[in-house]
Amino acid sequence: MYGKILVPVDGSETSALGLKEAVKIAKCVGGQIRLVHFVNEFVLDYAYGSGVYATDVIELLRKGGSSVLERAKAAVQAEGITPECIMLESMGGRAADLIVAQANEWGAELIVMGTHGRRGLARVAMGSDAEEVVRSASVPVLLVRGVPQPRGDAAKRPPLKASAA
């Protein structure tokens, strides 16, 4: 039961929250954790790169990915678990598809990932990789929501005060 837990990491706060939950589960069941980070080279638009060398940018993405994996690995090791780490490079494709493919290839029994919980236009504009993973994964997926951000008028209103009856 959940012996192999796949955790996509991207360095975000929500990713870190997902990692914390994965560690809790792995400690309870004696499971393995595989950390995975994707470097998507397709995010570069070579047509607008005047003065910027694509190979330099790709190398920076690789170094950043290695740093993300090292920080995540250190956090897991601090909890007494030795994770596997893998960084994969892609020329396009949705992160969700890459996550599901990696879960299938490794034989993951659970995918744990953070989600921003976007709604409305933000979700339409940016999409939801977490939702797509849930729809297409053949194994259970645990989504860990990030810290909710106040929206609209709620951010302007003062907090409610308790009153004595």
Beta-carbon contacts of 126 under 8 Å, excluding residues fewer than 6 positions away, are: 118
Q: What is the pLDDT of residue 44?
A: 52
Q: Enumerate the domain spans of the chain.
A: 6-145
Phi, psi for 5 (deg, rounded to 5): -115, 120
| Rounded CA Rg of the chain | 18
Q: What is the pLDDT of residue 37?
A: 95
Q: Which residues of the chain have pLDDT under 70?
A: 41-54, 117-127, 148-165
Q: What is the pLDDT of residue 129?
A: 85
**Which neighbouring-strand residues pair with 144?**
114
Three-state SS string over the chain comes to CCCEEEEECCCCHHHHHHHHHHHHHHHHHCCEEEEEEEEEHHHCCHHHCCCCCHHHHHHHHHHHHHHHHHHHHHHHHCCCCCCEEEEEEECCCCHHHHHHHHHHHHCCCEEEEEECCCCHHHHHHHCCHHHHHHHHCCCCEEEEECCCCCCHHHHCCCCCCCCCC
Q: What is the pLDDT of residue 120?
A: 47
Does the reported pTM lie above 0.85? no
Q: Which amino acid is at 117?
A: G
pLDDT per position as a tens digit, 113-138: 998 765 544 444 334 788 899 999 99
CA distance 25 to 72: 16
**CATH number given to 6-145:** 3.40.50.620
Q: What is the pLDDT of residue 121?
A: 45
Q: What is the pLDDT of residue 119?
A: 52
* 109 close to 4: Cβ distance less than 8 angstroms: yes
Q: What is the pLDDT of residue 152?
A: 58
